[in-house]
Amino acid sequence: MTARPDDAAAAAPTLAGFTTLRVGGPIGTFVDAASAEEIMDVVREADAAGTEVLVLGGGSNILASDDGFDGIVVRDARREIAIENSEGCGGAQFRAPAGAVWDDVVVRAVAEGFSGFEALSGIPGSTGATPVQNVGAYGQEVSGVLSHVRVWDRATNRPRTLALADLRLGYRTSTLKRSYTEEADGGGRTWGPTGRYVVLDVHFQTDATTMSAPVRYAELARTLGVEIGARVESAEVRESVLDLRRGKGMVLDDADHDTWSAGSFFTNPVLPPAQAAGLPDDAPRFDAPAPDGSGGTWVKSSAAWLIAHAGFGPGYRMPGPAAISTKHSLALTNRGGASAADLVSLARTVRDGVEATYGVVLVPEPVLLGVEI
């Protein structure tokens, strides 16, 4: 987990101590919950009292205000992964509590010979957060291995099981994430900074084989020396992914300020074909499902490309205090003394510059806690 124990133990914990961007002011109340029951109790009581709740994982997808958060921050202290079935024609089934470190789940899956996790190695944070934005990297998404999740439903004050279909997982989105902004998913209201559903346990279903899922990502295939669609030993895929990620500052490392980030700060824009036609010829283009639910095909471009070509390449605004990573134009980083306000200012400059150059409004990926871009 990314939180630093010295901060956790401090009398007045701050969000800077619990987030990978390392900004954010004081926390009202902090609870490290030892059981699912405790999490449900804390959330139910806070909701009844009208106290704001933040369910915190590794803090790797949050940009928190310098003013802090006056509500209750609750973190799941459970870590134990439980294998339910590891062989047979039904494949493998196992579960992890929301508090399990995501990379521990990947390491365990690869070691057990469970396929489909290997390219998701190195993504920081907790298992409970992975369905929230359907984490993905190098051609895999958690949607490929999820079976269902146990949640606490804050709208009905009941525990529930959400099947894969209920989660409506898409590119960096889900029913869980949509409940932050859409009343239909929020049970008649919107939620935040944690959504309507608090994830308690995540259940996985996948193939029991030491071979990876087919390699779908061109850069990864090149690194492995295989064709797209090939299957390789999962352990080998995992190592290659970690090497690629390290080269881009996408594996947490206390000593490397390029990793003091929230990963990709903007999602890749998915554009109607007519708008995508206006991009320069050399802008990346991939087919993607239309996000408007029409069933059509739109065009996904690359936020990193647009940012770099709009004049905000790696190292922009170095030496900081907030600057674009020296390794990747999509990561906004804290060079040591940045405030949330510094990061917000940088994010606005980048977003506005890309809009002025290409007419594309980039959307931030991290959860914004008490700040607006």
Ligand X SMILES: Cc1cc2nc3c(=O)[nH]c(=O)nc-3n(C[C@H](O)[C@H](O)[C@H](O)COP(=O)(O)OP(=O)(O)OC[C@H]3O[C@@H](n4cnc5c(N)ncnc54)[C@H](O)[C@@H]3O)c2cc1C
Tell me phi and psi for residue 148, to 5 degrees. -165, 170
Query: Counting contacts by CB under 6 A, is residue 263 touching ligand X?
Result: yes
Query: Counting contacts by CB under 6 A, is residue 306 touching ligand X?
Result: no
The closest of 306, 371, 310, 326 to 344, measured between CA atoms, is 371
Region of residue 33 (phi > 0: left; psi between -120 and 50: alpha; otherwise: beta): beta
Of 64, 100, 109, 135, the one binding ligand X by CB under 6 A: 135
What minimum distance in Å lies between the beta carbon of 210 and ligand X? 23
**Tokens, residue 143:** 């949607």
Cβ proximity to ligand X: between 130 and 240 the closer is: 130
Q: Which x/- pattern over 166-195 shows residues binding ligand X (rule: CB under 6 A)?
A: ---------------------------xxx
Query: How many residues are there in the chain?
Result: 373
Specify the residue for token string 């405790």: 38
| # of chain residues touching ligand X (CB under 6 A) | 35
| 335 contacts 322 by C-beta, under 8 angstroms | yes
Query: Counting contacts by CB under 6 A, is residue 129 touching ligand X?
Result: yes
Query: Counting contacts by CB under 6 A, is residue 310 touching ligand X?
Result: no
Q: Which x/- pattern over 45-84 shows residues binding ligand X (rule: CB under 6 A)?
A: ---------xxxxxxxxx----------------------
**Tokens, residue 52:** 């704001």
Of 14, 175, 261, 329, the one binding ligand X by CB under 6 A: 261
**Tokens, residue 204:** 């996985």
Q: How far apart are CA 150 and CA 36, in angstroms?
A: 10
Please confirm, yes or no, whether 264 is among the known catalytic residues: yes
The closest of 36, 34, 67, 74 to 52, measured between CA atoms, is 74
What minimum distance in Å lies between the beta carbon of 157 and ligand X? 16
Tell me phi and psi for residue 236, to 5 degrees. -70, -40
What minimum distance in Å lies between the beta carbon of 211 and ligand X? 22
Give the footprint of ligand X on residues 354-373 (CB under 6 A).
367
The contact set with ligand X (CB under 6 A) reads 20, 54-62, 98, 123-126, 128-130, 132-133, 135-137, 193-195, 198-199, 250, 252, 259, 261-263, 367
